[in-house]
Amino acid sequence: MSIIDLPGDRQVFHAPWSQKRFGFNHHHRRGANDGDGASTRTGTDYRHDAQQKTMRLEADEFIRRFLLHVLPDGFQRIRYYGFLANRYREQKLTCCRELLGMPAPETPALETPKNYRERYEELTGSSLWQCPVCHRGRMLVIEILPRSPHRKMTTTDTS
C-alpha cells in the first residue's frame, strides 16, 4: 500500500489489486484506530437478508481471522471458476457431459473402511495379526494393561 502525491497538495491512497481483495480496504474500515486496540468493520450479513451490519473486533481476533486465509509457505491457492466453481458444479458438469456426449461417471462402490491392521498389512506386507516370532499363530487381545501410576519419566541431562 502506498500514498501517491498529486499536484496541488492532494494525496491518493493506492493499494495494488492483490491487496484490495482482502476485504478490509478503507471503504469497509471505520474507526480502525480508536486507540483501544479494536476496529469496527462493516459488511454484508447474507444470513439475514443481506443487511449491512457493523462488527467490532479486537485486534487479536481480527488478526486471527485474517491469518485463517494465509497459506503456509510452499502452498498454492487454487481457485475454481466458471463451470468448476463450487455453486452448481454438479449441474454444470452434467450439462457439459451431455453436450459432449459423454456418459455419466460411475459412482464408486462404497467400501467398508479398513482398520489400521488391514491397512498396515497392505502397505508393509507383514500382518499385525500374526505372531512376530513364529509367524504362524494369531495374535489376540486378551487384556489391556493400564499405565502404571508410579512410572516416572527420567530425563538425563546431556549438557
Per-residue model confidence as pLDDT tens digits over 36-95? 777 788 888 888 888 898 888 888 888 888 888 888 888 888 888 888 888 888 899 899
**Rounded-to-integer distance, Cα 6 and Cα 12, Å:** 7
Task: Report the Cα 59 to chain-centroid distance in Å.
Answer: 22
Beta-carbon contacts of 96 under 8 Å, excluding residues fewer than 6 positions away, are: 83
For residue 68, the model assigns a pLDDT of 85
**Does 132 reside within a domain?**
no
Rounded distance between C-alpha atoms, residue 98 and residue 121, angstroms: 43
Average pLDDT score over the chain: 76
pLDDT of 133 over the 60 cut: yes
Q: Which set of grid coordinates corresponds to residue 135?
A: 509367524
- Number of domains the chain is built from: 1
**Residue 80 within a domain:** no
| 99 assigned to some structural domain | no
Is 61 part of any domain?
yes
Would residue 97 count as lying in a domain?
no
Expressed as residue numbers, the domain containing 30 is: 2-67
What the block records as the C-alpha cell of 46 is 447474507
Higher pLDDT, 2 or 102: 102
Query: Residue 6's pLDDT is what?
Result: 55
pLDDT score, position 87: 84
As beta bridge partners, residue 107 has none
Is 148 a domain residue? no
Share of the chain above pLDDT 70, in %: 74
- Per-residue confidence (pLDDT) for residue 15, from 0 to 100: 46
pTM, entire model: 0.33
In a domain, 135, yes or no: no
Q: Looking at the domain assignment, is residue 72 inside a domain? A: no
* Res 154 pLDDT > 70: no
* 17 vs 21: CA distance, rounded Å: 7
